[in-house]
Amino acid sequence: MRPYRVCVSQPEAHPGPVPIRRPRADQARQVADVLRHQIYDGAYADGLPTEAELAGEFFVSRNTVREALSVLKNEGLIDRGTKVGTHVAVRKYDHGLDALVGLKETFKDYGDVRNEVRAVLHLAAPPAVARKLALEPGAQVVYIERLRYLGELPVSLDLTYLVPDIGEQVIGYPLETNDVFSLIEQVSGQRLGGATFALEAVSADPHSAATLQVPAGSALLMAERLTGLDDGRPVDLEYIRMRGDRITMRGNLVRSDT
Amino acid sequence: MRPYRVCVSQPEAHPGPVPIRRPRADQARQVADVLRHQIYDGAYADGLPTEAELAGEFFVSRNTVREALSVLKNEGLIDRGTKVGTHVAVRKYDHGLDALVGLKETFKDYGDVRNEVRAVLHLAAPPAVARKLALEPGAQVVYIERLRYLGELPVSLDLTYLVPDIGEQVIGYPLETNDVFSLIEQVSGQRLGGATFALEAVSADPHSAATLQVPAGSALLMAERLTGLDDGRPVDLEYIRMRGDRITMRGNLVRSDT
């Protein structure tokens, strides 16, 4: 009935847990993964417990804890100093994956979102863009490129293609301080309906890295998102690069009826 | 009414589009982003168009196309050869973000998912794990570590903590060929209800990179997912690393009532 040799179990005779003999790197990853989300959840605002305390919590050796902390340090998530202990180095921000909201709405509890407008252009839509926006190839679209800041921190680089009738009106408003989503609703007189999105992890090319002020090769969350009005018409195609070290996407899943 | 100088627009007098004068790297990124998703959508199964054709489609110079293709080549997405042209180098696989399904269910149209079971352990739950699973700190949990393959390709490394009553029964079944989700439903006699998840992009540490057979530092999609039964009881806490070069998460968003 049990096809696996349970590698190391707690012997019945021992009341307490026993050390687990697995490759230290495997154990360190396991510890690092739990700690990472503890950090995101704000558990260690005043600093992490000592190595000895963590070794006790995770029932692993101090060397394993040290290796786990080194993984998190290399990710830039924590700082370590011999005198000052281990502290959280960066704060991550939650971006909801359950509803269609702009960044300013999303981050309203964290601080002000402002946009550096890098380009506002009229463009002849390449065939792939035109098809997604249900336009003829070569149709004029409005292209907006924004580097988005939370306070002084660049968090997201957004490349936006808007259908011409909506786009023309949207660029009549201040793009530095408004979400494009709310402007689309304002100028169209319609609510947004829904969006399809594709999300992936990519390494930052040197140019994008420099723009987002991260080291080249840093992990980015990259989204393609096609948003439609309430009547189903697609109006907004975006390519969004978010800093992996700063943004966590959160959501809920429900078991489908299979 | 228009606060932006629209940097370059199509002059009324010109019937066709005119070249756009922006930094070439900005334009190249713009082209690369559209091409990337064309590639994912399977548009170029027989190879990409020539540089000249792409320059025509995107209304940019051939140098800009070349730079865009070089970005995609550095990502490992395409191969380029002087004689053979430009071809798609890797296939990406879609993972749905709308419903709670296991990897085997998710990838059933792509091929067989098999799991290399790296560890099956009884563990005393660290406080953070215990809290999420609504157990007492130090309670025995079942820990399973699997490297998941689609055919011969490693795509995902999953670290799973199961509550003891469910976990004990789950490890009585072959883990190489079953999703843990379906086993949980089988042994509990209950449907899964829902899950909360947090998704981010991280750079692979050397050990995880070696395990997933990607270069160290490669971008990974990393998820923490806490899954409950239909009655709401949390039973399954997972830390999942997916290869960024192989998996795209896809979903739909609906505008919330704000």
Nearest to A119 among B7, B74, B173 (CB): B7
Nearest to A128 among B34, B97, B129 (CB): B34
Q: In angstroms, how far is CA A74 from the centroid of its own chain? A: 18
Q: Is B119 on the interface with A (CB under 8 A)?
A: yes
The alpha carbon of residue A190 is apart from the nearest alpha carbon of chain B, in Å, by: 12
Looking at residue A211, its pLDDT comes to 96
Residue B167 included in any domain: yes
Name chain A contacts of B145, Cβ cutoff 8 Å.
26, 30
Same domain? For B141 and B49 the reply is: no
Residue A258 included in any domain: no
CATH code for position A44 = 1.10.10.10
Same domain? For B55 and B100 the reply is: no
From B55, B88, B121, give the residue that closes a domain.
B88
- CA–CA distances in Å: residue B46 to residues B85, B86, B87, B109: 10, 9, 7, 21
Between residues 31 and 50 of chain B, which touch chain A (CB distance below 8 Å)?
Answer: 31, 33-35, 37-38, 40, 43
Same domain? For B118 and B237 the reply is: yes
Name chain A contacts of B5, Cβ cutoff 8 Å.
120
Q: Which residue of B has its CA nearest to A250?
A: B198
Residue B14 included in any domain: no
Same domain? For B220 and B143 the reply is: yes
CB atoms near residue B230 (< 10 Å): 13
Buried b / exposed e along B53-80 (16+ C-beta atoms within 10 A): ebbebbbbbeebbebbbebbeebebbeb
Looking at residue A2, its pLDDT comes to 47
Nearest to B255 among A1, A43, A192 (CB): A192
Whether A6 sits inside 8 A of B122 (CB atoms) is yes
Q: Is A82 on the interface with B (CB under 8 A)?
A: no
Same domain? For A175 and A216 the reply is: yes
CATH code for position A153 = 3.40.1410.10
Which pLDDT tens digits describe chain A residue by residue (258 residues)?
Answer: 445 555 443 333 333 444 456 889 999 999 999 999 999 888 898 899 999 999 999 999 999 999 999 999 988 899 998 888 899 988 889 888 877 888 888 888 888 999 999 999 999 999 999 999 999 988 999 999 999 999 999 999 999 999 999 999 999 999 999 999 999 999 999 999 999 999 999 999 999 999 999 999 999 999 999 999 999 999 999 999 999 999 999 988 888 655
Same domain? For B165 and B65 the reply is: no
Whether B249 sits inside 8 A of A198 (CB atoms) is yes
Interface test mutation site (partner A, options B1, B34, B208, B241, max chain A beta carbons within 10 A): B34
Between residues 147 and 166 of chain A, which touch chain B (CB distance below 8 Å)?
Answer: 159
- Which residues of chain B fall below pLDDT 70? 1-21, 256-258
Whether B59 sits inside 8 A of A4 (CB atoms) is no
Interchain CB contacts (distance < 8 Å): A and B:
288
Same domain? For B178 and B139 the reply is: yes
Structure tokens at B52: 């000249």
How large is the ipTM? Answer: 0.87
CA pair distance A47, B50, nearest whole angstrom: 55
The alpha carbon of residue A181 is apart from the nearest alpha carbon of chain B, in Å, by: 10
Nearest to A203 among B31, B171, B218 (CB): B218
Residue A61 phi/psi, 5° resolution?
-75, 160
Nearest to B203 among A75, A128, A251 (CB): A75
From A88, A109, A126, give the residue that closes a domain.
A88
The alpha carbon of residue B143 is apart from the nearest alpha carbon of chain A, in Å, by: 10
Same domain? For B142 and B233 the reply is: yes
- CA–CA distances in Å: residue A15 to residues A239, B57, B124, B143, B161: 55, 70, 11, 19, 21
Same domain? For B161 and B45 the reply is: no
Residues 6+ apart with CB under 8 A from A49: A57
From B71, B88, B105, give the residue that closes a domain.
B88
Name chain B contacts of A7, Cβ cutoff 8 Å.
119-121
The amino acid present at A188, given as its one-letter code, is S
Nearest to B33 among A1, A230, A239 (CB): A239
Nearest to B197 among A171, A242, A251 (CB): A251
Residue B161 included in any domain: yes
Same domain? For B38 and B107 the reply is: no
Q: Is B123 on the interface with A (CB under 8 A)?
A: yes
Residue A255 included in any domain: no
Q: Is A258 on the interface with B (CB under 8 A)?
A: yes
Residue A192 included in any domain: yes
Whether A248 sits inside 8 A of B198 (CB atoms) is yes
The alpha carbon of residue A83 is apart from the nearest alpha carbon of chain B, in Å, by: 26
CA pair distance A64, A35, nearest whole angstrom: 13
Looking at residue A204, its pLDDT comes to 95
Q: Is B130 on the interface with A (CB under 8 A)?
A: no
Residue A2 included in any domain: no
Same domain? For B243 and B157 the reply is: yes
Structural domain tally of chain A? Answer: 2
Q: Which residue of B has its CA nearest to A94?
A: B198
**Helices first, then strands: H and E counts in chain A:** 8, 10
CA pair distance A79, A87, nearest whole angstrom: 5
The amino acid present at A87, given as its one-letter code, is H
Looking at residue B164, its pLDDT comes to 97
Nearest partner of B237 among B158, B172, B178, B170, judged by Cα: B158
Same domain? For A133 and A63 the reply is: no
Q: Is B98 on the interface with A (CB under 8 A)?
A: yes
Residue B244 included in any domain: yes
Domain, as residue range, for A75:
24-88
Looking at residue B11, its pLDDT comes to 35
